[in-house]
Amino acid sequence: MSRVKTLGQFIIEKQAEFPFSKGELSRLLRDIGIASKIVNREVNKAGLADILGDVGEINIQGENVKKLDVFANEQFIAALSVGGECCAIASEENEHIITIDNEMSKNAKYVVAIDPLDGSSNIDVNVSVGTIFSIYRRTSLAGLGTNEDFFQRGTEQVAAGYVIYGSSCMMVYTTGKGVNGFTLDPSIGEFCLSHPQMKTPKMAKTYSINEGNYVHFPEGVKKYIKYCQEEDDATNRPYSSRYIGSGVADIHRNLLTGGIYMYPTTAKSPKGKLRLLYECNPLAFIIEQAGGKATDGTKRIMELDISELHQRTPLFLGSSEMVDMAGEYMNTYAEVPTKND
Ligand code: AHM
Ligand code: MG
């Protein structure tokens, strides 16, 4: 008897726990899993661009070679459009929502927000990238999905997850009952349950932030970084700095081993860089379900109001005691103006 449990089997088992469930959410998760396998296949070929053809060229199969983030966006939109469970998609790649105008989807229950390829500046250098997704129940009654369907707090998420295209490909998701991770076994083409009920340590010694922006950070962040760097045996400091610039990869590492990821306000991004709808809320849902925390420095990410699809927010996410400590620094130095030191 095989002890391997595939993503498909796991989803069906979970669905059976809800006797009145019609399986729409299960099918939606399955569709996202299928699209991510196709994206993974292309990400794995990224280094072969010179052989297979550069972006904009016609490759040896006679196909137009597309940028991977465009390709990923198209794959997820296609997968979500045919399933009939989703009536609208909000994507980082599209200014406006994409409504799915067919008979089945018009009355679908769910909307999906997605960052199809996060960390895309890392593709050309063979560093892990990821997909982030978030699923809400629509608030409009029927017909085409609307912007308002997406203007819900993160606490209303029905499910959220990410896929990391790394040294192995993993899908990590939650439906609000813990977090489970599945690793793609390329030999059978299936995501297999490898990390059941993931928990993140409450305290750790890794901080992740783009310190190149240091001079423009709020005073509280500067002081917290200095705290992380001080020598103190009792609290295991100095901490280690780990930042690769691919949010899913940095956050996945910190989820497994503990740590804090920060993207505060900077001069270039005075409201923060990351997007609330399809980056921060889903990542916050996952980290909270794993026992961690996510704030904008003071307020819980999942309780922030949203009025724009591409709204940005600062993000402090990870081990609960580290996020609390960073929040204390933010509070203490809230009134101090940022100075270039
Ligand atoms: P993207 O969605 O355009 O890829 O931007 C999001 C990414 C995150 O994955 C990453 O943590 C961050 O932006 C890196 O930004 P920076 O290069 O400013 O440090
Ligand atoms: Mg992104």
Structural domains of the chain, with CATH:
7-195 (3.30.540.10), 206-332 (3.40.190.80)
From 120, 246, 268, the mutation candidate for ligand 1 (largest count of ligand atoms within 8 A of CB) is 246
Query: What residues pack around ion ligand 2 (CB closer than 5 A)?
Result: 115, 118
Compute the distance from residue 288 Cα to the ligand 1 centre, in Å: 21
Compute the distance from residue 24 Cα to the ligand 2 centre, in Å: 26
Determine the pLDDT at residue 51. 57
* Spatial CA neighbour of 241 closest among 223, 256, 222, 260: 260
Compute the distance from residue 279 Cα to the ligand 2 centre, in Å: 6
C-alpha–C-alpha distance, residues 338 and 84, integer Å: 49
Closest atom of ligand 1 to CA, residue 269: 18
Determine the pLDDT at residue 105. 80
- Out of 61-65, 118-122, 145-149, least confident range: 61-65
Compute the distance from residue 233 Cα to the ligand 2 centre, in Å: 37
Q: Could you give the maximum distance between any two Cα atoms of the chain, in Å?
A: 64
From 73, 118, 133, the mutation candidate for ligand 1 (largest count of ligand atoms within 8 A of CB) is 118
- Out of 7-21, 168-182, 238-252, least confident range: 7-21
Compute the distance from residue 247 Cα to the ligand 1 centre, in Å: 6
- Out of 15-19, 85-89, 264-268, 288-292, least confident range: 15-19
Per-residue pLDDT at 143 exceeds 80 = yes
Beta-bridged to residue 88, according to DSSP, are 99, 111
Contact between 89 and 112 (Cβ < 8 Å): yes
Distances in whole angstroms, Cα of residue 13 to Cα of each of 75, 160, 225, 229: 27, 18, 44, 46
What would the mean pLDDT of 18-46 be, rounded to a whole number?
A: 88
The chain-wide mean pLDDT, for the chain, equals 92
Angle at CA 56, nearest 5°, toward 53 and 58? Answer: 50
Determine the pLDDT at residue 52. 58
Count of C-beta atoms within a 10 Å radius of residue 91 = 24
Q: Which ligand is nearest to the CA of 253?
A: 1
Closest atom of ligand 1 to CA, residue 210: 19
Q: Which ligand is nearest to the CA of 273?
A: 1
Q: Are strands 206-208 and 190-195 parallel, antiparallel or unpaired?
A: unpaired
Determine the pLDDT at residue 234. 94
Compute the distance from residue 27 Cα to the ligand 1 centre, in Å: 30
Q: Which ligand is nearest to the CA of 245?
A: 1
Q: In what helix (H) or strand (E) does residue 25 lie, and over which residues does it extend?
A: helix 24-44
> Atom 5 of ligand 1 has which residue's CA nearest to it?
119
For 257-314, the pLDDT digits (tens) are: 999 999 999 988 999 999 999 999 999 999 999 999 999 999 999 999 999 999 999 9
Compute the distance from residue 39 Cα to the ligand 1 centre, in Å: 19
C-alpha–C-alpha distance, residues 72 and 203, integer Å: 35
Ligand 1 is surrounded, with C-beta below 6 A, by 92, 115, 118-120, 210, 245-247, 250, 273
Determine the pLDDT at residue 332. 96
What would the mean pLDDT of 107-134 be, rounded to a whole number?
A: 92
Q: Which ligand is nearest to the CA of 266?
A: 1
Determine the pLDDT at residue 47. 75
pTM attached to this predicted model:
0.95
Per-residue pLDDT at 27 exceeds 80 = yes
> Atom 2 of ligand 1 has which residue's CA nearest to it?
118
In the chain, the percentage of residues whose pLDDT exceeds 90 is 77
Q: Which ligand is nearest to the CA of 210?
A: 1
Determine the pLDDT at residue 124. 80
For 52-83, the pLDDT digits (tens) are: 556 676 666 666 656 888 999 999 999 999 98
What would the mean pLDDT of 326-334 be, rounded to a whole number?
A: 96
Per-residue pLDDT at 117 exceeds 80 = yes
Compute the distance from residue 119 Cα to the ligand 2 centre, in Å: 6
> Atom 17 of ligand 1 has which residue's CA nearest to it?
245
In the chain, the percentage of residues whose pLDDT exceeds 70 is 92
Count of C-beta atoms within a 10 Å radius of residue 319 = 28
